[in-house]
Structure 1
Amino acid sequence: MTAGRLVLAATPIGDVEDASPRLRRLLAEADVVAAEDTRRLRSLVARLEVTVGGRVVSYHEHNESARAEELLDVVRGGGTVLVVTDAGMPVVSDPGFRVVAAAVEAGLPVTAAPGPSAVLTALALSGLPTDRFCFEGFPPRKGGERLRGFAELADERRTMVFFESPHRLAATLADMATAFGGDRPAAVCRELTKTYEEVVRRPLGELARWADEVEVRGEISVVVAGAPPRAAVAVDDLVGEVLARVDAGERLKDAVADVAAAGGAPKRALYDAAVARRRAPGHPRPPDPTRFPSSATFSTVRDA
Protein backbone atom coordinates (compact mmCIF):
# COMPACT_ATOMS: atom_id res chain seq x y z
CA MET A 1 0.00 0.00 0.00
CA THR A 2 1.26 3.48 -0.86
CA ALA A 3 2.10 5.62 2.17
CA GLY A 4 -0.16 8.55 2.94
CA ARG A 5 1.09 11.92 4.10
CA LEU A 6 1.52 14.13 7.13
CA VAL A 7 0.18 17.66 6.58
CA LEU A 8 0.95 20.68 8.77
CA ALA A 9 -1.79 23.29 8.38
CA ALA A 10 -1.79 26.90 9.56
CA THR A 11 -4.97 28.09 11.29
CA PRO A 12 -6.16 31.70 11.75
CA ILE A 13 -4.37 33.67 14.47
CA GLY A 14 -7.43 35.87 14.91
CA ASP A 15 -9.69 36.64 11.98
CA VAL A 16 -11.40 33.44 10.86
CA GLU A 17 -11.62 34.78 7.31
CA ASP A 18 -7.86 34.16 7.02
CA ALA A 19 -8.54 30.40 6.83
CA SER A 20 -7.54 29.13 3.41
CA PRO A 21 -9.80 27.04 1.15
CA ARG A 22 -7.16 24.32 1.39
CA LEU A 23 -7.43 24.24 5.18
CA ARG A 24 -11.20 23.83 4.90
CA ARG A 25 -10.80 20.96 2.45
CA LEU A 26 -8.16 19.20 4.53
CA LEU A 27 -10.30 19.40 7.66
CA ALA A 28 -13.12 17.72 5.78
CA GLU A 29 -11.02 15.07 4.03
CA ALA A 30 -8.19 14.07 6.41
CA ASP A 31 -8.38 10.62 7.97
CA VAL A 32 -7.06 11.96 11.28
CA VAL A 33 -6.95 15.52 12.59
CA ALA A 34 -4.38 15.94 15.38
CA ALA A 35 -5.32 19.10 17.27
CA GLU A 36 -3.47 20.94 20.03
CA ASP A 37 -6.81 21.59 21.74
CA THR A 38 -9.83 19.61 20.50
CA ARG A 39 -12.25 22.14 22.01
CA ARG A 40 -10.70 24.99 20.06
CA LEU A 41 -10.78 22.85 16.94
CA ARG A 42 -14.52 22.32 17.39
CA SER A 43 -14.96 26.09 17.77
CA LEU A 44 -12.91 26.74 14.63
CA VAL A 45 -14.75 24.28 12.39
CA ALA A 46 -18.08 25.64 13.65
CA ARG A 47 -17.07 29.16 12.59
CA LEU A 48 -15.78 27.80 9.28
CA GLU A 49 -18.99 25.81 8.82
CA VAL A 50 -16.90 22.73 8.03
CA THR A 51 -17.54 19.16 9.16
CA VAL A 52 -14.44 17.17 10.15
CA GLY A 53 -14.60 13.96 8.17
CA GLY A 54 -12.04 11.89 10.05
CA ARG A 55 -11.09 11.02 13.58
CA VAL A 56 -10.01 13.83 15.91
CA VAL A 57 -7.21 13.21 18.44
CA SER A 58 -5.43 15.52 20.86
CA TYR A 59 -1.81 16.32 20.07
CA HIS A 60 -0.12 18.72 22.50
CA GLU A 61 3.20 19.27 24.26
CA HIS A 62 2.48 16.66 26.94
CA ASN A 63 1.68 13.75 24.60
CA GLU A 64 3.30 14.55 21.27
CA SER A 65 6.22 12.16 21.75
CA ALA A 66 3.95 9.25 22.71
CA ARG A 67 1.37 9.98 20.01
CA ALA A 68 3.80 10.53 17.13
CA GLU A 69 4.16 6.83 16.28
CA GLU A 70 0.39 6.34 16.33
CA LEU A 71 -0.02 9.15 13.80
CA LEU A 72 2.73 7.79 11.59
CA ASP A 73 1.05 4.37 11.52
CA VAL A 74 -1.89 6.09 9.82
CA VAL A 75 0.46 7.61 7.26
CA ARG A 76 2.14 4.25 6.64
CA GLY A 77 -1.30 2.78 6.01
CA GLY A 78 -2.01 5.29 3.27
CA GLY A 79 -3.98 7.83 5.29
CA THR A 80 -3.70 11.59 5.64
CA VAL A 81 -2.90 13.04 9.06
CA LEU A 82 -3.60 16.74 9.48
CA VAL A 83 -1.77 18.55 12.32
CA VAL A 84 -3.25 21.84 13.53
CA THR A 85 -2.57 24.04 16.54
CA ASP A 86 -4.69 26.61 18.34
CA ALA A 87 -3.46 29.41 16.09
CA GLY A 88 -0.82 29.81 13.41
CA MET A 89 1.64 27.29 12.03
CA PRO A 90 2.38 23.99 13.81
CA VAL A 91 6.00 23.42 14.91
CA VAL A 92 6.71 27.18 15.29
CA SER A 93 6.59 27.50 19.10
CA ASP A 94 3.77 24.94 18.96
CA PRO A 95 3.49 21.13 18.87
CA GLY A 96 4.47 19.32 15.69
CA PHE A 97 8.25 19.10 15.64
CA ARG A 98 8.50 15.58 17.05
CA VAL A 99 6.08 13.98 14.62
CA VAL A 100 7.75 15.79 11.69
CA ALA A 101 11.20 14.63 12.81
CA ALA A 102 9.92 11.06 13.18
CA ALA A 103 8.28 11.16 9.74
CA VAL A 104 11.45 12.47 8.12
CA GLU A 105 13.51 9.74 9.81
CA ALA A 106 11.03 7.11 8.61
CA GLY A 107 11.07 8.47 5.07
CA LEU A 108 7.36 9.32 5.10
CA PRO A 109 5.88 12.24 3.09
CA VAL A 110 5.49 15.55 4.93
CA THR A 111 3.93 18.68 3.46
CA ALA A 112 2.31 21.90 4.64
CA ALA A 113 -0.71 24.06 3.99
CA PRO A 114 0.79 27.48 4.79
CA GLY A 115 -1.18 30.39 6.13
CA PRO A 116 -1.35 32.85 9.03
CA SER A 117 1.77 33.35 11.16
CA ALA A 118 2.06 35.59 14.21
CA VAL A 119 5.82 35.79 13.69
CA LEU A 120 5.65 37.08 10.13
CA THR A 121 2.64 39.31 10.79
CA ALA A 122 4.36 41.02 13.73
CA LEU A 123 7.56 41.40 11.75
CA ALA A 124 5.74 42.97 8.82
CA LEU A 125 3.82 45.43 11.02
CA SER A 126 6.75 46.40 13.25
CA GLY A 127 8.29 48.88 10.83
CA LEU A 128 11.70 47.33 11.53
CA PRO A 129 14.08 45.78 8.96
CA THR A 130 12.76 42.51 7.54
CA ASP A 131 15.62 41.46 5.23
CA ARG A 132 17.22 39.37 8.00
CA PHE A 133 15.44 38.24 11.16
CA CYS A 134 15.38 35.46 13.76
CA PHE A 135 12.62 34.02 15.95
CA GLU A 136 13.52 33.55 19.61
CA GLY A 137 10.19 32.25 20.95
CA PHE A 138 9.28 32.84 24.61
CA PRO A 139 12.10 34.27 26.79
CA PRO A 140 12.91 32.42 30.04
CA ARG A 141 10.39 33.02 32.81
CA LYS A 142 12.95 33.61 35.57
CA GLY A 143 14.43 37.09 35.64
CA GLY A 144 18.08 36.07 35.95
CA GLU A 145 17.91 33.54 33.13
CA ARG A 146 15.99 35.98 30.97
CA LEU A 147 18.53 38.76 31.45
CA ARG A 148 21.43 36.41 30.69
CA GLY A 149 19.68 35.22 27.56
CA PHE A 150 19.18 38.77 26.34
CA ALA A 151 22.82 39.60 27.11
CA GLU A 152 23.84 36.80 24.73
CA LEU A 153 21.70 38.43 22.02
CA ALA A 154 22.96 41.97 22.58
CA ASP A 155 25.18 41.89 19.47
CA GLU A 156 22.65 40.06 17.25
CA ARG A 157 22.44 42.06 14.01
CA ARG A 158 19.17 40.56 12.77
CA THR A 159 15.72 41.79 13.78
CA MET A 160 14.47 39.58 16.62
CA VAL A 161 10.92 38.34 17.20
CA PHE A 162 9.75 37.09 20.61
CA PHE A 163 6.50 35.86 22.11
CA GLU A 164 5.50 36.91 25.63
CA SER A 165 2.58 36.62 28.03
CA PRO A 166 0.80 39.78 29.24
CA HIS A 167 1.75 39.42 32.90
CA ARG A 168 5.49 39.16 32.11
CA LEU A 169 5.61 41.80 29.38
CA ALA A 170 6.72 44.76 31.54
CA ALA A 171 9.56 42.79 33.18
CA THR A 172 10.69 41.41 29.83
CA LEU A 173 10.78 44.83 28.19
CA ALA A 174 12.73 46.23 31.16
CA ASP A 175 15.30 43.42 30.84
CA MET A 176 15.51 44.02 27.08
CA ALA A 177 16.19 47.70 27.71
CA THR A 178 18.96 46.75 30.12
CA ALA A 179 20.58 44.24 27.77
CA PHE A 180 20.01 45.93 24.39
CA GLY A 181 19.90 49.58 25.44
CA GLY A 182 16.86 51.73 26.17
CA ASP A 183 17.09 53.48 22.81
CA ARG A 184 16.91 50.26 20.73
CA PRO A 185 13.85 50.48 18.40
CA ALA A 186 11.15 47.88 19.07
CA ALA A 187 7.45 47.15 18.68
CA VAL A 188 4.86 45.40 20.84
CA CYS A 189 2.22 43.72 18.69
CA ARG A 190 -0.88 42.34 20.38
CA GLU A 191 -4.12 40.69 19.28
CA LEU A 192 -2.96 40.56 15.67
CA THR A 193 -5.82 40.35 13.10
CA LYS A 194 -8.35 40.51 15.97
CA THR A 195 -10.82 43.25 16.87
CA TYR A 196 -8.48 45.05 19.28
CA GLU A 197 -5.26 44.71 17.28
CA GLU A 198 -2.60 47.14 18.48
CA VAL A 199 1.01 47.83 17.48
CA VAL A 200 3.05 50.14 19.74
CA ARG A 201 6.34 51.24 18.19
CA ARG A 202 8.81 52.94 20.55
CA PRO A 203 12.36 52.56 21.91
CA LEU A 204 12.66 49.74 24.46
CA GLY A 205 13.01 52.09 27.43
CA GLU A 206 9.76 53.85 26.57
CA LEU A 207 7.99 50.55 25.90
CA ALA A 208 9.06 49.23 29.30
CA ARG A 209 7.55 52.28 31.01
CA TRP A 210 4.38 52.04 28.90
CA ALA A 211 3.86 48.36 29.75
CA ASP A 212 4.37 49.11 33.44
CA GLU A 213 1.67 51.79 33.40
CA VAL A 214 -1.10 50.13 31.36
CA GLU A 215 -2.84 46.76 31.47
CA VAL A 216 -1.77 44.90 28.35
CA ARG A 217 -3.91 41.94 27.38
CA GLY A 218 -4.07 39.34 24.65
CA GLU A 219 -1.58 37.42 22.53
CA ILE A 220 1.68 39.37 22.35
CA SER A 221 4.65 39.43 19.99
CA VAL A 222 7.67 41.68 20.61
CA VAL A 223 9.88 42.72 17.70
CA VAL A 224 13.30 44.24 18.46
CA ALA A 225 15.71 45.84 16.02
CA GLY A 226 19.08 44.18 15.60
CA ALA A 227 22.24 45.67 17.04
CA PRO A 228 23.72 48.52 14.98
CA PRO A 229 27.04 47.81 13.24
CA ARG A 230 30.03 48.35 15.47
CA ALA A 231 32.48 50.99 14.32
CA ALA A 232 35.60 49.28 13.04
CA VAL A 233 38.82 50.08 14.91
CA ALA A 234 41.83 51.09 12.83
CA VAL A 235 44.28 48.24 12.27
CA ASP A 236 47.22 50.23 13.64
CA ASP A 237 45.35 50.75 16.91
CA LEU A 238 45.03 46.97 17.41
CA VAL A 239 48.61 45.91 16.67
CA GLY A 240 49.82 46.70 20.19
CA GLU A 241 47.21 44.39 21.72
CA VAL A 242 48.17 41.58 19.33
CA LEU A 243 51.88 41.88 20.13
CA ALA A 244 51.22 42.01 23.86
CA ARG A 245 49.32 38.74 23.65
CA VAL A 246 52.10 37.18 21.56
CA ASP A 247 54.73 38.29 24.05
CA ALA A 248 52.61 36.62 26.75
CA GLY A 249 52.93 33.31 24.92
CA GLU A 250 49.92 33.25 22.57
CA ARG A 251 50.30 32.19 18.94
CA LEU A 252 50.31 35.15 16.55
CA LYS A 253 47.60 33.60 14.38
CA ASP A 254 45.28 33.06 17.35
CA ALA A 255 45.89 36.52 18.79
CA VAL A 256 45.17 38.16 15.43
CA ALA A 257 41.92 36.19 14.99
CA ASP A 258 40.56 37.17 18.41
CA VAL A 259 41.60 40.83 18.27
CA ALA A 260 40.35 41.28 14.69
CA ALA A 261 36.96 39.79 15.56
CA ALA A 262 36.56 41.99 18.64
CA GLY A 263 37.71 45.16 16.89
CA GLY A 264 35.95 44.62 13.57
CA ALA A 265 39.21 44.81 11.63
CA PRO A 266 40.25 42.72 8.60
CA LYS A 267 42.26 39.74 9.86
CA ARG A 268 44.76 39.63 6.99
CA ALA A 269 45.60 43.33 7.30
CA LEU A 270 46.05 43.03 11.07
CA TYR A 271 48.30 39.99 10.67
CA ASP A 272 50.52 41.79 8.13
CA ALA A 273 50.71 44.89 10.34
CA ALA A 274 51.67 42.82 13.38
CA VAL A 275 54.42 40.99 11.46
CA ALA A 276 55.78 44.29 10.11
CA ARG A 277 55.79 45.83 13.59
CA ARG A 278 57.70 42.84 15.03
CA ARG A 279 60.33 43.16 12.32
CA ALA A 280 60.73 46.90 12.80
CA PRO A 281 64.04 48.09 14.35
CA GLY A 282 63.88 48.51 18.09
CA HIS A 283 61.01 46.06 18.66
CA PRO A 284 62.17 43.19 20.87
CA ARG A 285 61.56 39.79 19.35
CA PRO A 286 61.26 36.64 21.41
CA PRO A 287 64.06 34.12 20.86
CA ASP A 288 63.44 31.40 18.31
CA PRO A 289 64.20 28.06 20.06
CA THR A 290 64.69 26.33 16.69
CA ARG A 291 67.44 28.66 15.48
CA PHE A 292 70.28 27.56 17.82
CA PRO A 293 70.81 24.32 19.74
CA SER A 294 70.24 24.41 23.48
CA SER A 295 73.15 24.48 25.99
CA ALA A 296 72.58 20.77 26.63
CA THR A 297 73.19 20.10 22.95
CA PHE A 298 76.41 22.13 23.01
CA SER A 299 77.56 20.12 26.01
CA THR A 300 76.85 16.84 24.26
CA VAL A 301 78.75 17.90 21.15
CA ARG A 302 81.70 19.20 23.18
CA ASP A 303 81.95 16.00 25.26
CA ALA A 304 81.88 13.92 22.12
Structure 2
Amino acid sequence: MKLISKFTPLAAAIAFAIAAPAMAAAPLAGTNAPGFFRIMLGDFEVTAISDGTVDLPMNKLLQQAPAKTDQELARSYLASPLETSVTGYLVNTGAKLVLIDTGAGNLFGPTLGKLLANLKASGYQPEQVDEVLITHMHPDHVGGLAANGQAAFPNAIVRADKHDADFWLSQANMDKAPAENKGFFQGATASLSPYVANQHLQPFNGAVEITPGIRAVASYGHTPGHISYMVESKGKKLLVVGDLIHAGAVQFEHPEVTIGFDTDPKTAAYARKQAFTAVAKEGALIGAAHLPFPGLGHLRSAGQAYQWVPANYTQLR
Protein backbone atom coordinates (compact mmCIF):
# COMPACT_ATOMS: atom_id res chain seq x y z
CA MET A 1 0.00 0.00 0.00
CA LYS A 2 1.42 3.42 -1.08
CA LEU A 3 1.67 6.11 1.67
CA ILE A 4 0.75 9.60 0.43
CA SER A 5 2.11 12.49 2.60
CA LYS A 6 0.22 15.72 2.92
CA PHE A 7 2.47 18.80 2.52
CA THR A 8 0.50 21.84 3.69
CA PRO A 9 1.47 25.46 2.79
CA LEU A 10 2.45 26.13 6.42
CA ALA A 11 4.72 23.10 6.44
CA ALA A 12 6.28 24.27 3.19
CA ALA A 13 7.03 27.71 4.63
CA ILE A 14 8.64 26.19 7.71
CA ALA A 15 10.73 23.85 5.61
CA PHE A 16 11.93 26.73 3.43
CA ALA A 17 12.83 28.85 6.44
CA ILE A 18 14.90 26.01 7.88
CA ALA A 19 16.67 25.31 4.62
CA ALA A 20 17.38 28.94 3.60
CA PRO A 21 20.65 30.54 4.74
CA ALA A 22 20.31 33.08 7.56
CA MET A 23 20.38 36.71 6.38
CA ALA A 24 22.23 39.08 8.75
CA ALA A 25 20.78 42.50 9.48
CA ALA A 26 22.57 45.44 7.88
CA PRO A 27 25.47 46.54 10.10
CA LEU A 28 25.29 49.87 11.91
CA ALA A 29 26.76 52.66 9.78
CA GLY A 30 28.23 54.46 12.79
CA THR A 31 28.82 57.85 11.15
CA ASN A 32 27.00 61.06 10.29
CA ALA A 33 27.36 63.26 7.24
CA PRO A 34 30.30 65.70 7.20
CA GLY A 35 29.71 68.38 9.81
CA PHE A 36 28.98 71.63 8.01
CA PHE A 37 25.87 73.76 7.59
CA ARG A 38 25.61 76.79 5.31
CA ILE A 39 23.42 79.88 5.29
CA MET A 40 23.43 83.20 3.46
CA LEU A 41 23.64 86.38 5.50
CA GLY A 42 22.91 89.17 3.04
CA ASP A 43 25.67 88.76 0.46
CA PHE A 44 27.90 86.80 2.84
CA GLU A 45 28.09 83.02 2.90
CA VAL A 46 28.37 81.65 6.45
CA THR A 47 29.35 78.02 7.04
CA ALA A 48 29.13 76.46 10.50
CA ILE A 49 31.88 73.85 10.73
CA SER A 50 31.83 71.13 13.39
CA ASP A 51 34.99 70.22 15.26
CA GLY A 52 33.13 67.35 16.95
CA THR A 53 31.66 67.02 20.42
CA VAL A 54 32.99 66.54 23.93
CA ASP A 55 31.24 65.22 27.05
CA LEU A 56 31.28 67.83 29.82
CA PRO A 57 30.17 67.28 33.45
CA MET A 58 27.86 70.28 33.51
CA ASN A 59 26.55 69.44 36.99
CA LYS A 60 30.09 70.04 38.26
CA LEU A 61 31.13 72.88 35.96
CA LEU A 62 28.08 75.17 36.20
CA GLN A 63 28.20 77.33 39.30
CA GLN A 64 24.99 76.24 40.96
CA ALA A 65 23.82 73.21 42.94
CA PRO A 66 24.54 70.01 40.95
CA ALA A 67 21.04 68.68 41.65
CA LYS A 68 19.51 71.83 40.16
CA THR A 69 21.61 71.47 37.01
CA ASP A 70 20.56 67.83 36.70
CA GLN A 71 16.90 68.83 37.07
CA GLU A 72 17.14 71.57 34.45
CA LEU A 73 18.97 69.32 31.98
CA ALA A 74 16.37 66.59 32.50
CA ARG A 75 13.58 69.00 31.50
CA SER A 76 15.25 69.12 28.08
CA TYR A 77 15.75 65.33 28.03
CA LEU A 78 19.47 65.77 28.69
CA ALA A 79 21.84 64.59 31.38
CA SER A 80 25.34 65.21 32.67
CA PRO A 81 27.90 64.58 31.27
CA LEU A 82 26.42 66.58 28.41
CA GLU A 83 27.60 65.91 24.86
CA THR A 84 28.64 69.43 23.89
CA SER A 85 29.33 70.74 20.41
CA VAL A 86 32.45 72.64 19.38
CA THR A 87 31.85 74.76 16.27
CA GLY A 88 33.74 77.28 14.16
CA TYR A 89 32.20 79.71 11.67
CA LEU A 90 33.60 80.36 8.20
CA VAL A 91 32.53 83.66 6.58
CA ASN A 92 33.04 84.28 2.88
CA THR A 93 32.55 88.02 2.38
CA GLY A 94 33.33 87.84 -1.32
CA ALA A 95 36.58 89.71 -0.68
CA LYS A 96 37.98 87.54 2.13
CA LEU A 97 37.54 84.10 3.63
CA VAL A 98 37.44 84.51 7.40
CA LEU A 99 37.35 81.69 9.96
CA ILE A 100 36.10 82.42 13.48
CA ASP A 101 37.69 79.93 15.91
CA THR A 102 39.47 76.73 14.91
CA GLY A 103 38.31 73.98 17.27
CA ALA A 104 40.55 71.89 19.50
CA GLY A 105 42.98 70.24 17.10
CA ASN A 106 44.67 67.46 19.03
CA LEU A 107 44.35 69.14 22.44
CA PHE A 108 41.09 67.50 23.59
CA GLY A 109 41.20 63.89 22.46
CA PRO A 110 39.72 61.87 19.59
CA THR A 111 36.13 63.17 19.66
CA LEU A 112 37.30 66.64 18.59
CA GLY A 113 39.79 67.91 16.02
CA LYS A 114 37.53 67.44 12.99
CA LEU A 115 37.29 71.07 11.84
CA LEU A 116 39.94 70.87 9.11
CA ALA A 117 38.39 67.75 7.57
CA ASN A 118 34.92 69.29 7.69
CA LEU A 119 36.19 72.58 6.25
CA LYS A 120 37.55 70.64 3.27
CA ALA A 121 34.31 68.66 2.97
CA SER A 122 32.46 71.99 2.81
CA GLY A 123 34.34 72.92 -0.37
CA TYR A 124 37.22 75.03 0.95
CA GLN A 125 40.92 74.47 1.64
CA PRO A 126 42.84 75.80 4.66
CA GLU A 127 45.24 77.62 2.33
CA GLN A 128 42.32 79.76 1.14
CA VAL A 129 41.61 81.22 4.60
CA ASP A 130 42.71 84.87 4.70
CA GLU A 131 42.07 85.62 8.36
CA VAL A 132 41.42 83.60 11.51
CA LEU A 133 39.56 85.46 14.24
CA ILE A 134 39.84 84.04 17.75
CA THR A 135 37.11 84.65 20.32
CA HIS A 136 39.51 83.64 23.09
CA MET A 137 42.56 81.45 23.59
CA HIS A 138 41.12 78.42 25.36
CA PRO A 139 42.39 75.18 23.76
CA ASP A 140 39.08 74.20 22.15
CA HIS A 141 39.11 77.46 20.17
CA VAL A 142 42.79 77.74 19.16
CA GLY A 143 43.95 74.11 19.05
CA GLY A 144 43.13 73.78 15.35
CA LEU A 145 45.52 76.60 14.43
CA ALA A 146 48.54 74.28 14.34
CA ALA A 147 49.32 70.71 13.34
CA ASN A 148 52.66 69.09 14.13
CA GLY A 149 54.09 72.49 15.00
CA GLN A 150 53.13 73.99 11.63
CA ALA A 151 50.49 76.59 10.80
CA ALA A 152 47.32 74.80 9.68
CA PHE A 153 46.27 77.99 7.86
CA PRO A 154 49.57 79.01 6.29
CA ASN A 155 48.33 82.13 4.50
CA ALA A 156 46.12 83.49 7.27
CA ILE A 157 46.56 86.45 9.57
CA VAL A 158 45.41 85.51 13.09
CA ARG A 159 43.56 88.17 15.06
CA ALA A 160 42.73 88.09 18.78
CA ASP A 161 42.19 90.67 21.50
CA LYS A 162 45.45 91.94 23.00
CA HIS A 163 44.22 91.24 26.55
CA ASP A 164 43.91 87.53 25.75
CA ALA A 165 47.20 87.37 23.85
CA ASP A 166 49.08 89.10 26.66
CA PHE A 167 47.53 86.82 29.28
CA TRP A 168 47.67 83.36 27.69
CA LEU A 169 50.98 83.74 25.83
CA SER A 170 52.83 84.99 28.92
CA GLN A 171 55.49 82.65 30.30
CA ALA A 172 55.30 84.49 33.62
CA ASN A 173 51.55 83.86 33.87
CA MET A 174 52.03 80.18 33.03
CA ASP A 175 54.76 79.80 35.63
CA LYS A 176 52.56 81.14 38.43
CA ALA A 177 49.35 79.38 37.32
CA PRO A 178 48.08 76.40 39.36
CA ALA A 179 49.19 73.05 37.96
CA GLU A 180 45.67 72.21 36.77
CA ASN A 181 45.56 75.41 34.67
CA LYS A 182 48.99 75.27 33.05
CA GLY A 183 47.59 73.27 30.14
CA PHE A 184 45.54 76.28 29.02
CA PHE A 185 48.71 78.34 28.66
CA GLN A 186 50.66 75.52 27.03
CA GLY A 187 47.88 74.88 24.51
CA ALA A 188 47.64 78.55 23.56
CA THR A 189 51.42 78.89 23.20
CA ALA A 190 51.77 75.76 21.05
CA SER A 191 48.84 76.77 18.83
CA LEU A 192 49.94 80.39 18.26
CA SER A 193 53.71 79.87 18.05
CA PRO A 194 53.84 79.29 14.26
CA TYR A 195 51.94 82.54 13.69
CA VAL A 196 54.11 84.48 16.15
CA ALA A 197 57.18 83.17 14.33
CA ASN A 198 55.99 84.28 10.88
CA GLN A 199 54.53 87.56 12.26
CA HIS A 200 51.00 86.52 11.30
CA LEU A 201 49.60 87.09 14.79
CA GLN A 202 48.14 90.60 14.89
CA PRO A 203 46.33 91.41 18.16
CA PHE A 204 43.81 94.23 18.38
CA ASN A 205 42.36 96.13 21.30
CA GLY A 206 38.63 95.93 22.01
CA ALA A 207 35.84 96.98 19.68
CA VAL A 208 37.37 97.52 16.22
CA GLU A 209 36.45 96.78 12.62
CA ILE A 210 38.39 93.71 11.54
CA THR A 211 37.45 93.75 7.87
CA PRO A 212 34.49 95.29 6.05
CA GLY A 213 31.39 93.56 7.40
CA ILE A 214 33.03 92.05 10.51
CA ARG A 215 33.76 93.91 13.73
CA ALA A 216 34.93 92.90 17.17
CA VAL A 217 32.57 93.32 20.13
CA ALA A 218 34.19 93.26 23.57
CA SER A 219 32.61 90.59 25.77
CA TYR A 220 35.28 90.20 28.43
CA GLY A 221 34.88 87.98 31.47
CA HIS A 222 35.09 84.40 30.31
CA THR A 223 38.72 85.25 29.63
CA PRO A 224 40.49 88.62 29.98
CA GLY A 225 40.09 89.34 26.27
CA HIS A 226 37.04 87.31 25.25
CA ILE A 227 35.60 88.78 22.04
CA SER A 228 32.39 88.29 20.09
CA TYR A 229 32.27 89.10 16.37
CA MET A 230 29.42 90.90 14.64
CA VAL A 231 29.05 89.86 11.01
CA GLU A 232 26.79 92.11 8.92
CA SER A 233 25.73 92.25 5.28
CA LYS A 234 22.80 94.12 3.76
CA GLY A 235 21.28 94.76 7.18
CA LYS A 236 21.42 91.08 8.21
CA LYS A 237 23.43 90.43 11.37
CA LEU A 238 25.08 87.44 13.03
CA LEU A 239 26.85 87.72 16.39
CA VAL A 240 29.35 84.90 16.92
CA VAL A 241 29.52 84.71 20.71
CA GLY A 242 32.29 82.22 21.50
CA ASP A 243 31.87 81.02 25.07
CA LEU A 244 29.19 83.42 26.27
CA ILE A 245 27.08 80.28 26.73
CA HIS A 246 27.83 76.59 27.26
CA ALA A 247 24.57 74.92 28.33
CA GLY A 248 21.46 76.39 26.76
CA ALA A 249 19.14 74.14 28.76
CA VAL A 250 20.31 75.97 31.89
CA GLN A 251 21.74 79.35 30.94
CA PHE A 252 18.93 80.66 28.73
CA GLU A 253 16.53 80.32 31.66
CA HIS A 254 19.18 81.40 34.17
CA PRO A 255 21.72 83.65 32.40
CA GLU A 256 23.26 84.49 35.76
CA VAL A 257 24.66 80.96 36.07
CA THR A 258 28.37 80.96 35.25
CA ILE A 259 30.80 78.13 34.51
CA GLY A 260 34.02 77.06 36.18
CA PHE A 261 36.06 78.05 33.12
CA ASP A 262 35.19 81.75 33.57
CA THR A 263 38.18 83.89 34.56
CA ASP A 264 35.88 86.59 35.99
CA PRO A 265 32.42 85.05 36.54
CA LYS A 266 30.62 88.28 37.44
CA THR A 267 31.88 90.06 34.34
CA ALA A 268 31.16 87.02 32.17
CA ALA A 269 27.54 86.91 33.33
CA TYR A 270 27.18 90.65 32.66
CA ALA A 271 28.64 90.25 29.15
CA ARG A 272 26.18 87.45 28.40
CA LYS A 273 23.23 89.53 29.58
CA GLN A 274 24.32 92.56 27.57
CA ALA A 275 24.91 90.62 24.36
CA PHE A 276 21.75 88.52 24.58
CA THR A 277 19.54 91.51 25.36
CA ALA A 278 20.93 93.42 22.36
CA VAL A 279 20.58 90.44 20.01
CA ALA A 280 17.01 89.75 21.12
CA LYS A 281 16.08 93.42 20.65
CA GLU A 282 17.44 93.76 17.11
CA GLY A 283 16.58 90.26 15.90
CA ALA A 284 20.12 89.29 14.95
CA LEU A 285 21.22 85.69 14.64
CA ILE A 286 23.75 84.31 17.08
CA GLY A 287 26.35 81.64 16.45
CA ALA A 288 27.35 79.85 19.65
CA ALA A 289 30.26 77.43 19.61
CA HIS A 290 28.90 75.13 22.31
CA LEU A 291 25.18 75.02 21.57
CA PRO A 292 24.08 71.94 19.61
CA PHE A 293 25.55 72.10 16.11
CA PRO A 294 25.24 74.29 14.07
CA GLY A 295 24.58 76.62 17.02
CA LEU A 296 22.68 79.14 14.91
CA GLY A 297 19.45 80.77 16.07
CA HIS A 298 17.59 83.77 17.43
CA LEU A 299 16.76 84.83 20.96
CA ARG A 300 13.56 86.20 22.45
CA SER A 301 13.59 88.01 25.79
CA ALA A 302 11.32 86.47 28.42
CA GLY A 303 11.59 88.63 31.50
CA GLN A 304 15.06 88.01 32.91
CA ALA A 305 15.40 84.86 30.78
CA TYR A 306 15.70 84.12 27.06
CA GLN A 307 14.03 81.73 24.67
CA TRP A 308 16.15 80.03 22.01
CA VAL A 309 14.71 79.78 18.50
CA PRO A 310 16.95 77.55 16.35
CA ALA A 311 17.56 78.69 12.79
CA ASN A 312 15.29 77.07 10.23
CA TYR A 313 16.94 74.45 8.04
CA THR A 314 18.10 76.07 4.82
CA GLN A 315 18.86 74.43 1.48
CA LEU A 316 20.81 76.97 -0.52
CA ARG A 317 19.50 77.54 -4.03
On whether the aligned pair clears a TM of 0.5, the verdict is no
Q: Which has the larger radius of gyration?
A: 1
Q: Relative to total residues, which structure has the larger helix share, 1 or 2?
A: 1
TM-score normalized by the length of structure 1: 0.27
TM-score computed with the length of structure 2 as normaliser: 0.26
